Amino acid sequence: MSSSIEGEARIVAAVAGDVDALQSLLIEHHRSLSAHIERLMPANARSAIGPEDVLQQTYLKAFKSIGRFEPRGEAAFYGWLRLIAERQLMDMCRKRNRERLSNLPAHSPGGDASSSIRGLISIAIGDGPSPGQEVMLEELQGAFQVALAGMPEHYRQVLRLRYLEDRPLAEVAEAMGTTEGAVRGMCHRARQQLREELLRLSRFV
């Protein structure tokens, strides 16, 4: 954990537009934020919504709105992140209640979604951590969520459809309104950018 002065300096830098500072802050708070969402997750939503889904939307929102945050210390920053995450969870639960689950992909915390993320990390960086290296794995998953949030929308979409949802190439191309060849190229570039971001963000890569 960083010193209070260093942490506050990074927050000020993040508000001023320093992407590296914001990414390091998000990774630092990832574990606590994930545990907080896990505690708040309604029992009847766990089969359809995973903490990873909530955190991804939280980080996207943080990237978009950090410029409006008023720096008041590390506790205030974490409180701001928690509030965003809680609102995202509430919105996702409301959406789930409005739609039939039979038409939605199901994710279970620590199950399919986490396994897909681990698989994509392995694809991006080669050999990933062994199953017993939980601290390493948690940081890598946090770095993955932060890296993904900072990528262009079409890269996020192709990685989600092709690797996290394991859709066939033809189906991804149809969903994105492009050709299979274009999807292959996009996958390659997206994996390369993800690898570069993970190399920069995580000490374990």
List domains and CATH numbers for the chain: 1-108 (1.10.1740.10), 110-205 (1.10.10.10)
The predicted-structure confidence for 182-197, as pLDDT tens digits, reads as follows 999 999 999 988 888 8
| Residue 179 in tokens | 């050709």
Outline where the chain has alpha helix (H).
4-15, 19-40, 51-65, 74-98, 112-125, 134-149, 153-159, 169-176, 180-201
Query: 42 — alpha (psi -120 to 50), left (phi > 0) or beta?
Result: beta
Closest CA to 146 of 29, 53, 16, 59: 59
Contact by Cβ (8 Å): 101, 90: no
The pLDDT-based confidence of 147 (bands split at 50, 70, 90) is confident
Residue 123 tokens, joined: 């694809």
DSSP string, 2-44: --HHHHHHHHHHHHTT-HHHHHHHHHHHHHHHHHHHHHHS-GG
Q: Which two tokens stand for residue 80?
A: 């701001």
What's the pLDDT tens digit per position in 13-49? 999 999 999 999 999 999 999 999 988 888 777 777 8
